[in-house]
Structure 1
Amino acid sequence: MPSQTVLLVEDSDFLTAHVSETLRSEHGFDIETAESAAETRSVLEDGGIDCVVTNYELPDETGIDLAASLAEIGGASDVPVVLFTGNSIESLAEEALEAGVSAFVSKSSRASGDMNVFANRIRLAIQANE
């Protein structure tokens, strides 16, 4: 199976390094990174991304706003979005689903260790959009 490319959108250097390395080394994903919604849109215009994993709180907008805007980017409207947040998922779920978010991952319980659940959510989001 060819490697899947994940775009991790996170403005924390520590989390970016930790999550990228674990998803790459333990789960075989190719990882690209971005720090803002604007940078994400630029990367997506080039194509080749299988899934976007975005923080909820970005410097220029929310991850939900980013997910809602992907329909406007040629070739990115079918890229699944996984929301990666430290906020309460329950309070964001309805708005996120309406914006096109495919799955949710809590930073507090999934951003440590081997990240098996996190990686599985990414794989399932990609498979659902194939």
Structure 2
Amino acid sequence: MPSHSVLLVEDSEFITEHVSTALESAHGFDVDAVTTGEATRATLADEAQSFDCIVSSYELPDETGIDLAASLEEESVPFVLFTGNPLEPLVDEALSAGVSAFVSKSTHATGEMNVFANRIRLAIEAHGN
């Protein structure tokens, strides 16, 4: 199975380490991480790098993950929102901003992260990458 490249946008060092390690070792993803929306846009502007999916926390130091998704609509890369907040109040706004899928930190960011990895794969496949 070919490896997928993921850009993780998360300002918690602990969560970044846990998610990156699990996705790389147990699921074969290549993961790069940044901590802000601004760093995300700078990374995506570097033509030497390309990603199959962006996974972003909802709460970032400089904006929300939904604001970030809306600013990246022309990137044509699936965008997975990763949040500890209740999903229901965010769904409509997130979908209109271009969010492809949702993952709850509380229920899917533990252990081997099988559900999380599957959501990323499904988002990539749905986008045709």
Q: Deviations over 1:76-130 (max 9, x none)?
A: 2x10100000000001000000000000000000110111000000000001111
Instruction: Specify the alignment match of 2:62 in structure 1.
Output: 60
Alpha-carbon distance in 2 for matches of 1:101, 1:19:
19
Matched residues in 1 for 2:45 and 2:124: separation?
A: 18
Give the Cα–Cα distance (whole angstroms) in 2 for the partners of residues 50 and 81 of structure 1.
Answer: 9
Aligned-CA RMSD value: 0.9
| Counterpart residue number, 1:3 | 3
Query: What letter matches 2:31 in structure 1?
Result: I
The size of the alignment, in residue pairs, is 126
Q: 1:2 and 1:48 mapped to 2: Cα distance?
A: 15
Unaligned runs of 5+ in 2: none
Unaligned runs of 5+ in 1: none
2:82 match: secondary structure: strand
Q: Which residue matches 1:108?
A: 106
Shift of 1:44: 1.1
- Which residue, 121, 124, 129 being the options, matches 1:123? 121
What is the CA deviation profile of residues 27-82 of structure 1, one whole-angstrom value per residue up to 9, with x for unaligned ones?
Answer: 0000000000000011111241110000000000000000000035xxx2x10100
TM-score by length of 1: 0.94
> 1:49 is matched with which residue?
51
Identity %: 65
What is the TM-score with the length of structure 2 in the denominator? 0.95
